[in-house]
Structure 1
Amino acid sequence: MSGFAYVVHEGKARKTTLREALHEQANLSWTHLTTNDGRAKAWLGGEARLGPFVLESLTAVETRPRCDAVGDGAVINLRGLSSEAMGSSDPLASIRIYAQGGHVFSVTRKPLNAIDPVRKQVEAGEILDPGDLIAAISQAITEELDPVVADLGDTLDDCEEQIAGKQVFQLRRSVNQTRTQAIGYRRFLNPQRAALERLAALPGEWLRDDDRLHLNAAADRAARMAEELESIRERAAVMHETLTDLRAEQIDQRSLMIAIVAMVFLPLTFLTGLLGMNVEGIPFAHASWAFWGVVGVCVAMAVAIAGYFVRRHWFEP
């Protein structure tokens, strides 16, 4: 089990041990565990003496963004970007938080990128109480996700330009990857917005008015990103259909060209096959001009057949 703990008292932050943080009387006592083993659950239920509901919420294997009031505190689950590779269906790492009075317990099973900038804020004395801490984590998560969502939109813009230039190949994979990422992010951003809004509305002295404003701002940002992801998902679906239609059109055009070439050479093949039979009685078999005569007839036939197809506009795309 690994983790860290900070104690903030009268605007000054001090790093301490997990055990000492439990008994410190301060404005903020933040205990963070980074683990996925049973020792974290044993420590939280034993030394920290957290209740069964809180313990299960902090150590559950599968979570989604949520916010539940627990007595005069709250349990909050959020999702953010991780430095580790994540699956396409679950692209965001979770952080589970329990806040009560001056104490905040947080648990992550995967490294969460937002933790490091928040730790720097704590050490710099910019975070003074639990409300500040949770608002800072929420803002760090949404600020990091915002450019990622914007990049997905830019990727689709580039794909649309390539479609306009008829550059169909290699686009389907890019569009599908963008759509998959958008679906994965949107899966968590919608409930995360609801969780932040509910947290901002919870009663409690540990949440000040400025904390509620910051939480509402983070919720609004999450809502905007969710709307952008929904737009990206719909655009990607339309682009996928367009690419499928363009691919089918290209295949039809090439099949048409093959058919035209086959129809041009079909009578020529019949004629040369007929004259190439090894039987007696073939006309002009011993004439010196016969070969070039047959070549001339074949050329005339090919030109006539091609001209027919041109008049019928078969060569037009």
Structure 2
Amino acid sequence: MVMEAYCVRFVRGQATAITPDEALAVRGDLVWIHLPQIDDETRGWLHERAALDDYVVDALTATETRPRCEAFGEGAFLNLRGRSQAALDGDLLASVRIWAEKGRVFSVTRKSLIAVGMVKAEAKGGHLHDPGDLITAFAAAITADLDPDVAQLGDELDDCEERIDASRIFELRRTVSKVRIAAIGYRRFLSPQRAALEKLAALPGDWLGDDDRLHLAAAADRAARMAEELESIRERSALMHETLSDLRAEQIDTRSLVISIAALVFLPLTFITGLYGMNVANLPYAQEPWAFDAIAGLCAVIAAGVVIYFVQRHWFTR
């Protein structure tokens, strides 16, 4: 675990890689310790070497998490959700758990988050000076990474609305269902994530500057905007699904009407042919040479009459 940990020290914004033990000994400068896995070795290191409180360690290494923020002692625990290269247990988003106090920030993940790489790049650029800057970078990276995905969901739904056609019902329903599931999965975590960022921005403490609180509030507002967009996508997906279901029902009704008309056309014909097809004696005109032609002509006249009746009643256009 120590070999996999990512530890940097920030001196006047410039990031320098250090070992985990060196990170624990730093005083006065900002230190970021990122642990990319959760196992017994990680828990033991956080307990014994980092000397974090049991409550903090349990929060950092919890299996089931939701976005939240809690103040504890001189620091704060923050859980955020962002996109991962590999979804965990079917969730579209994976979590990053953050413990921040004056001069130190611990972050722990179970799956590699795309946002972690973005924050590392920002750290190398010399833009981070305090824990508030680092947490703000996490929040901004997560929302910036999610924004194109949310916009893509909206674009897919727009495309489906433009291509509504009876011949594409099954294709469109698959796409709409996929968009709706994704929107529900994202919104499930973005709404509490907004509340967590707003709570963190309002926490007392000198390790969060006024500019950090403004940036956190901006990140919370962006998360709220995405949550509202996802809610709109979810509602539009539901309406689109109902429209496609109505179109499918109308298609079935039309086909049922055609089948019913065909059945009504052939119903009297079936009666006549069935009657004269009985193997009994004394059927009228059964022995006449013109009987077959007469019955066939009668069937044709009846069929034509039924069709003309349906045309006049406009059954074929309903």
Shorter-chain TM-score above 0.5: yes
The equivalent residue for 2:59 is 57
The equivalent residue for 1:143 is 144
Distance 1:272 1:36 in 2: 80
Distance 1:82 1:141 in 2: 10
How far residue 203 of structure 1 moved from its aligned partner, in angstroms, is: 2.2
The equivalent residue for 1:190 is 191
What amino acid does structure 2 have at the position aligned with 1:195?
A
Q: Deviations over 1:135-184 (max 9, x none)?
A: 11110000011111111111221222233666322222222221111111
1:216 equivalent to 2:217? Answer yes
CA contact (8 A) 1:7 1:26 kept: no
After superposition, residues 244-283 of structure 1 pair within 5 angstroms as: 244-283=245-284
What amino acid does structure 2 have at the position aligned with 1:80?
G
Report the secondary structure of 2:299's partner residue: helix
Distance 1:224 1:166 in 2: 36
The equivalent residue for 1:82 is 84
Report the secondary structure of 2:263's partner residue: helix
CA contact (8 A) 2:166 2:248 kept: no
Report the secondary structure of 1:169's partner residue: helix
The equivalent residue for 1:243 is 244
How far residue 237 of structure 1 moved from its aligned partner, in angstroms, is: 1.6
After superposition, residues 1-317 of structure 1 pair within 5 angstroms as: 1=1, 2-88=4-90, 90-163=91-164, 167-317=168-318
CA contact (8 A) 1:82 1:112 kept: yes
Q: 1:161 to 1:87 in 2, by over 3 A?
A: farther
Distance 1:118 1:49 in 2: 25
Q: 1:74 to 1:139 in 2, by over 3 A?
A: same
Report the secondary structure of 1:75's partner residue: strand
Distance 1:234 1:182 in 2: 10
Identity %: 58
TM-score when scaled to structure 2?
0.93
How far residue 296 of structure 1 moved from its aligned partner, in angstroms, is: 2.0
CA contact (8 A) 1:9 1:26 kept: no
What amino acid does structure 2 have at the position aligned with 1:62?
E
How far residue 49 of structure 1 moved from its aligned partner, in angstroms, is: 0.3
The worse-fitting range, judged by mean Cα deviation, of 240-249 and 128-137 is: 240-249
How far residue 25 of structure 1 moved from its aligned partner, in angstroms, is: 2.6
CA contact (8 A) 1:162 1:168 kept: no
Distance 1:193 1:225 in 2: 10
Unaligned runs of 5+ in 1: none
CA contact (8 A) 1:182 1:230 kept: yes
Report the secondary structure of 1:25's partner residue: coil
Distance 1:302 1:229 in 2: 56
Unaligned runs of 5+ in 2: none
How far residue 288 of structure 1 moved from its aligned partner, in angstroms, is: 4.6
Report the secondary structure of 1:127's partner residue: coil
What amino acid does structure 2 have at the position aligned with 1:307?
I
CA contact (8 A) 1:100 1:206 kept: yes
How far residue 224 of structure 1 moved from its aligned partner, in angstroms, is: 0.2
What amino acid does structure 1 have at the position aligned with 2:191?
N
Report the secondary structure of 2:86's partner residue: coil
Distance 1:97 1:260 in 2: 69
CA contact (8 A) 2:166 2:247 kept: no
Q: Deviations over 1:260-303 (max 9, x none)?
A: 11111111111122222333444444555443333222111111
CA contact (8 A) 2:166 2:251 kept: no
Report the secondary structure of 1:121's partner residue: helix
Distance 1:85 1:199 in 2: 27
Distance 2:198 2:70 in 1: 12
Distance 2:159 2:166 in 1: 11
Distance 1:20 1:137 in 2: 23
Report the secondary structure of 1:228's partner residue: helix
Q: 1:139 to 1:110 in 2, by over 3 A?
A: same
Report the secondary structure of 2:129's partner residue: coil
Distance 1:30 1:204 in 2: 19
CA contact (8 A) 2:87 2:94 kept: no
CA contact (8 A) 1:8 1:26 kept: no
Distance 1:248 1:107 in 2: 51
What amino acid does structure 2 have at the position aligned with 1:64?
R
How far residue 251 of structure 1 moved from its aligned partner, in angstroms, is: 1.4
How far residue 199 of structure 1 moved from its aligned partner, in angstroms, is: 1.2
How far residue 222 of structure 1 moved from its aligned partner, in angstroms, is: 0.2
